[in-house]
Structure formats: C-alpha cells, structure tokens
A and B are shown apart, each in its own frame.
Chain A
Amino acid sequence: MEKTEPGRRNWKQPDRVQGSAPGVRPIERKEKQIMSIPVTTIWAAILAAVLPLAAFGMILIGCRRRSSTSATLSIGAMSMSLACAVYLLATHGSAGVPLAFAKKWMVSGNLHITVGFLLDPLSLLMMVIVTAICFLVQMYSLAYMAGDPGFGRYYAFMSLFAWAMISLTLAPNLLQLYVFWELVGLSSYLLIGFWFEKFSASRAGKKAFIMTRVGDVAFLLGLLLLLAHHGNLDILNLNDPETTAHMRPMVITLSSLLIFGGIIGKSAQFPLFTWLPDAMEGPTPVSALLHSATMVAAGVYLFARLFPFLGHSPFAMTVFLFIGTLSMLMASCMAMVSRDIKQVWAYSTISQLGFMIMGLGAGGYFGGVFHLTAHAGFKALLFLCAGVLIHAFHTNDMFEISRQNGRRMRITMTCMVVAGAALAGIWPFSGFYSKEVILGRLAALDNPIWLLAGLAGAFLTAYYTFRLVFIILFPRPEPHVARDAHGGHRESWIMTVPLMVLAAVTLVLGHLERPLAALIAGGDSVSKVNGNPAWLPPLAMGLCAAGVLLAWIEFGRKGARQSGFVEQWPVLTRLFAERWYLDRFYAWLVDRVVDRGASAWCAQNDIRRIDGAAHALADSAVNTGRVLATWHRGLVQPKLMVMLAVFFYLTITLLF
C-alpha cells in the first residue's frame, strides 16, 4: 500500500502524524513526515524498549546462576533505557506534535496490524517514570535480594517486566498495548510468585493473574467491538474527534465501559481490587515497582492514553468517576485497620489509583497524569522504606517493627515521613500539588458529592498514613521487654541512595507543576489549573491536618492507647479487616454458584443425560448384536430349531 523508498529501512515508515489535516495528498505528507523523525529518535526508542528484553534473554539463557553478571546485565540495560528515555523526553517532549511510526506486522483483509512507537508527551513522561523507577528499584534490589538463590531469575523477570512496560507505554495502537498489557501481567505473576516454595506466594500470584484476567477479557471484548465498528485500533486515530463523530454513541459508551473493565482489573479498582493486597507476597522491591508505581498505574495510563475517546461518553465517564470514588473510599477504610505495613501501602495504592481515576473521570486530564507521576515517586519510596524495615526486622507487622525500635533507622524513617506527607497531601510535597489539581476538578463538577468524597478520602489518607508513621515512630512503652535487642542494624547505602533520590524527587516534583502542565496538557489547561476556588486549598490542608492530628492523638502522643477510632466498633473493624467481605463473597460465588451450582449442574447433565444417552445407544446396539449373533454362529441346535419351526409352520398353513 505504501511505497518504501529504496535503501530506507521499513522501520522508519511512519504511519501517520497527528496535527496535519488527514486525507489530503497522503504521499506528499508522508515524505514530510519521514524527514521529521530523526534516525536517532527511532534508534533511541528501539534501544530503550529492546535492551531489557535482550538482558532477559541473556540472563535466562546464559547466566542465571551467576548472580553478579545477571545483575550487571539487567542494570546496564536499564540504565541505557533510562538514558534513552531522558534523551527522548528532552528532545521531543516539548515538540507538541506526537510522533508515531509503525511497521506492518500482519495484514488480513482490511485489517492491518502494526507495531511501532508513539512518542508524545504522555508516553515519554510515563517512559521516564517507568525507566527511572525500574532503575532505582533494581539498584535497591542488589542489597535487598543479596544471597537469594533465585537472584539471577529475579533480575531476568525484572528485565522482562521493564521490556513489557516500556513497550506498553510506547504502543501506538491498542492491540500492541494489549499484548504488552498481558506480558506485564505475566511478569507480575512471575514476580509475585517469586518465592514459589511459599504456598501463599504462589497462590497470590495465581489470584492476581486470574483476577486481572477477568478485567482483561472485558478489555479484549472492547477492542473487538471497536475493531468491528471502526476497523482500526490506532490510538491517535481513535482520539481524533472526527473518528468518534462517525461512531454511534451507544458503541462508544459500550466499548468505553468494556475497556474500563481492563483498567479495573489492572489498576485494582472496585470490584476487582482484592488481588493487590495479596500481591504483597512478592519481594518488596517488586511491590514497589509493579504493584504501586508502574504496573498498576498502567490502567490509569490507558485511561489517560484514550482520554479524548473515553471522554465522548458522559455516561461512561460518570461510571468511571463512581468506580474511582468507591475504590478510593473502600480502600482507605481497609487501610485504617491493617497491621501489615505493606498491606497499608497496598490499600493506599488502590485508593490513590481510584483518586487518579476520579480526576480523569471528572475530566481532569492533567490532574490524573500529574497525580500518577507524583504517586509513582512517593509510593515507590514508601515501599522501598518498608522494604528496608522488613529486611532489617524480618516482619511485616508495624507494631512488631515499632517494638524492635524501627525508628533507629534514621534515613529510612526520614524518607518514610517525607513520602507519607506526600501521600497525605501536605505542603510542600508533591502529593499536595497533584491532589489540589484533582480536587479543583472535582469542585468544578455540578454535583458536590464528588468533591465531598474526595475530601473525605484526603482526610482518611492523612489519617491512615500517619497512623502507621506514628506507630513506628512512637513505640508503645513496654517496660518488661528488652527494647534495644536489635540496635545494631546498619542501613546499607545501596538501599538508602535510591530512597534519598526518590525523596528528593518527591520534594521537588510539586514545584514543577507548571512546566509539567505545559508539557502534558499544552498551554490551554494551565489557566484551568489556577482556576481553583480560593477556599479549596485551605480546606484540603485543614482536613489533612485534622487527619494527622487525629492519628497523633490516637497513636502518637504520650500515653496514647494506640488503637484507632474504628476499632471501637468491632463490626466495622471486622468488615474492614475482611476487605468488605469481598474475598469471602468471591469464594462463595466461585464455590457455591460457579463450582457447585452451574458447573455441577453441567457435570450432572453431562453424566446423566449426554453420557447416559450415548451409553444407552451403544448398549442397545451391543445387545441387539449379541442377540443377532446367536443366529449366525453355525451352531447345530439353533439351526435345527429354525428348521423345525419352519417345517411346523408350513405344515400348519398347508393343512388349514
């Protein structure tokens, strides 16, 4: 269909570039585009995506047993990817025009499946986030995973994840995105079940894989629906207002909702969020990388990626807003009663992802993306801090860590407080600014209930975050327990350097709001960012402060009982600790309805009716054959019998 110039690689064949009017003299346009994408850009994008894959293959094939070599390979590939990502962001981030180039992979009738890259501010920003956090986490893992028998395997899987995630980020069409979406799910499964000899870990891996698969089926159906009605899955094409103008609103709404199913699964939203807390069975760096900062944010990223398309259906947007709000509040409630430090961060991840989806669902494109960026930084930091504590004290229980004097680890605790403040949304940390943008969007909605829910979420977030911080910082006085038994923990610098880098990012990122807004959303939305009502920031800050204060009264001050206000109602405590009974409900659903109900009925039907009918048919044939067989065995007596019977019959008929 397209003509390739001789001597040029197919790679450089751009499919389209948005921004110029489509449909007018395509060949001429094509020539211009080829000129506009420099070769270095293409090579940088390819390198960034493919290097981790190469590292994965080399580690698995060559040096799984040699731990230092595999770590070197993986981290080397990752640092190259990071360099490429930064280079791409620096050169193309401000260009304003998305660059897309793709190569045909499969052609079947009208269906052209392409692979390639889409470089626009959103994907470049996400790519930098992913590569940077991957790099830091891999550095951190050098110390955290040291001595583990599966060290090489760990780095191989990390590289696999990096490859899948970078390619997902850069995917120019939804099909490629879906492929890597699944690959990311696979690496998540492999890494959650990394310590597979532990039964709970392998179970959690399976649970995560299967529950996200439920959402992915919806996603795939949405893609097929789009393919059937539009015949094209190109992201830029879908986001084009002209495309949606041709489609029926019903189809847009339905496909939006189906695609959102994938987002629900991957970003652990209601009702599929119960896999995420269990996913904490994996190594803590994995939780930091996959299950808080990057992979679970892929759902939100997909939302932002398709934001103009999804925004065409007001009904679907309301549903997104509702689901985001519900997930945020439910997860915050669960985080208030958990004793497991990683579980608390997992719940807060769910709630913050819900908050991003709220922001996007309310139409705040920049707010969602900004919070995604900020969250990636401070949540990775929180998990890495938790990892240091868990590594040192060999327990996940925050009271136990507190009892063993976890606050002695000064760098870790400082970083944790910084990240916790960002999570709670306290000035001047990054979370404050990004939450402010989202709350501003919610305030602009007609229905005040969304804003109220958002503010309630902010209050609860501050409360549960500082509940954990205060519990660890102010241990309960227990005179009869020897407290300084574990005084000698050193904080390895390999672990603390990534912490400090991320803490610095958390401090600085909030002040980069304007450049980021200009980068992500273009100049027009900068004014919107400043359009928040004047009463909002003080109110939000006041609620955060109230949450922190409440946590301090209950857990921090001298003589505090160290039990939250929720724990005065055992019913509520149980409800939250049991995750709203959702797991029970799913177990019941699968066991009673699916397993013993539908599946048992099908089995019965199969055995009784289908097998029974087949057996009856076969048996009757066998029996008939057996009866008939007695007549042709050449035996004397039956022959005689027949002969005599015929003889008698003839005699009688002849006589009478």
Chain B
Amino acid sequence: MTVPYTHVVFLSGMLFLLGMLCLIIRRNLIMMLLGLEVMLNAAAIAFVGASLHIGQLTGQAMTLFILAVAATEVAVGLALAVCIYRRTGTVDPACIEGDQCSL
C-alpha cells in the first residue's frame, strides 16, 4: 500500500508553510536558515511524491540536486552567520543594522 499523493502534497505544503513562518518570524539567523532548510525539504518531499505518482525518476534526481544545494547553502549560510556574529555580536537580523532592536 502506498501513501496517497494528496497526503504527500498536503504534508509538503504544511512543511513549506511552517518553514516560511519560521523564516519570517524567528529573530535568529540560524533559525531562519533552519526554516529555509525545512522549505527546501518540503519541496523535496513534493518531488519524491510526484515521481512516485507519475512513475518517472526525474523527481528523485531533482531531490538529489536539492539535497546538494541545501548542504552548500547551509554551509555558506552558517559561515556567514558566524561571521556576522563576530562582527556585530548578535544574530538578530533586525539588530544587524544597529538600530531599533526592540521592534
């Protein structure tokens, strides 16, 4: 028995929204990167589900690309976060500019 395609699309949609919320709302660069990761993985799930549904392997190949891009993105993103933290002493994106952290 296979998981129905609609469930897969629903799951990936929910994950995408959660990741987007995390990206928009969290006040921490690292958590924003995590949100981005979740969004990428939601897309990957959608690709895998679609490839299973259609019966072609293009979707799984796409998923491998996404994993590679995600890995590099996390590496560069974390490095930037560490660099920013060293320069400004904070990882809050609102405070990096140096004003109105309270908002």
Contact = CB atoms under 8 A, between A and B. Distances in A.
A633 interface: yes
A635 B23 contact: no
A630 B97 CA distance: 13
Interface string A611-648: 00000000000000000001001111100110010000
Interface in B54-103: 93-94, 97, 99-100, 103
B23 A640 contact: yes
10 contacts: A630-B103, A633-B94, A633-B99, A633-B100, A635-B97, A636-B93, A637-B23, A637-B32, A637-B93, A641-B24
B97 A640 contact: no
A interface, size bucket: under 10
Contacts of A630: 103
A644 B20 contact: yes
B24 A634 contact: no
Nearest to A645: B24
Contacts of A637: 23-25, 32, 93-94
8 tightest A-B CB contacts, nearest first: A641-B24, A636-B93, A637-B24, A635-B94, A640-B24, A644-B20, A637-B93, A640-B23
Interface in A188-233: none
B97 A634 contact: yes
Contacts, number: 22
B46 to A, nearest CB: 15
Interface of B: 20, 23-25, 32, 93-94, 97, 99-100, 103
Given A633-B94, A633-B99, A637-B32, 4 more contacts: A636-B93, A637-B25, A637-B93, A640-B23
A299 B100 CA distance: 72
Judged by DSSP, the binding face of B is: loop
Contacts of A640: 23-24
B93 A644 contact: no
Contacts of B103: 630
Interface of A: 630, 633-637, 640-641, 644
A641 B24 CA distance: 6
A633 B95 CA distance: 11
A321 B17 CA distance: 97
Nearest to B100: A633
Contacts of A641: 24
A396 B52 CA distance: 120
A21 to B, nearest CB: 89
Contacts of A635: 93-94, 97
B97 A633 contact: yes
B38 to A, nearest CB: 14
A635 B24 CA distance: 11
B30 to A, nearest CB: 14
Contacts of B99: 633
Contacts of B97: 633-635
Given A630-B103, A633-B100, A644 B94 contact: no
A328 B30 CA distance: 97
A640 B93 CA distance: 12
A655 to B, nearest CB: 14
A641 B20 CA distance: 9
Contacts of B93: 635-637
A632 B43 CA distance: 31
Contacts of A636: 32, 93
B100 A644 contact: no
B12 to A, nearest CB: 15
A636 B84 CA distance: 14
A334 B25 CA distance: 86
A595 B32 CA distance: 64
A206 to B, nearest CB: 54
Nearest to A643: B24
Nearest to B20: A644
Nearest to A635: B94
Nearest to B93: A636
A635 B103 CA distance: 11
A452 B103 CA distance: 88
A492 B61 CA distance: 131
A634 B99 CA distance: 11
A651 to B, nearest CB: 12
A286 B56 CA distance: 121
B76 to A, nearest CB: 16
A315 to B, nearest CB: 76
Contacts of B23: 637, 640
A644 B94 CA distance: 19
A263 B25 CA distance: 81
Contacts of B32: 636-637
A81 B24 CA distance: 96
Nearest to A638: B24
Contacts of A633: 94, 97, 99-100
A268 B88 CA distance: 81
Nearest to A640: B24
B97 to A, nearest CB: 7
Nearest to B99: A633
Contacts of B100: 633
A641 B21 CA distance: 9
A282 to B, nearest CB: 66
Nearest to B95: A635
Contacts of A634: 97
Nearest to A644: B20
A633 B100 CA distance: 10
A566 B13 CA distance: 106
A114 to B, nearest CB: 70
B19 to A, nearest CB: 11
Nearest to B26: A637
A634 B100 CA distance: 12
A636 B103 CA distance: 13
Among B20, B24, B94, B97, max chain A CB count under 10 A is at B24
Contacts of A644: 20, 24
A634 B32 CA distance: 17
B92 to A, nearest CB: 10
B28 to A, nearest CB: 11
A636 B93 CA distance: 7
A102 to B, nearest CB: 74
Contacts of B24: 637, 640-641, 644
A645 to B, nearest CB: 10
A437 B97 CA distance: 98
Nearest to A634: B97
Nearest to B29: A636
A640 B22 CA distance: 11
A636 B99 CA distance: 14
A332 B99 CA distance: 81
A103 B20 CA distance: 93
A515 to B, nearest CB: 95
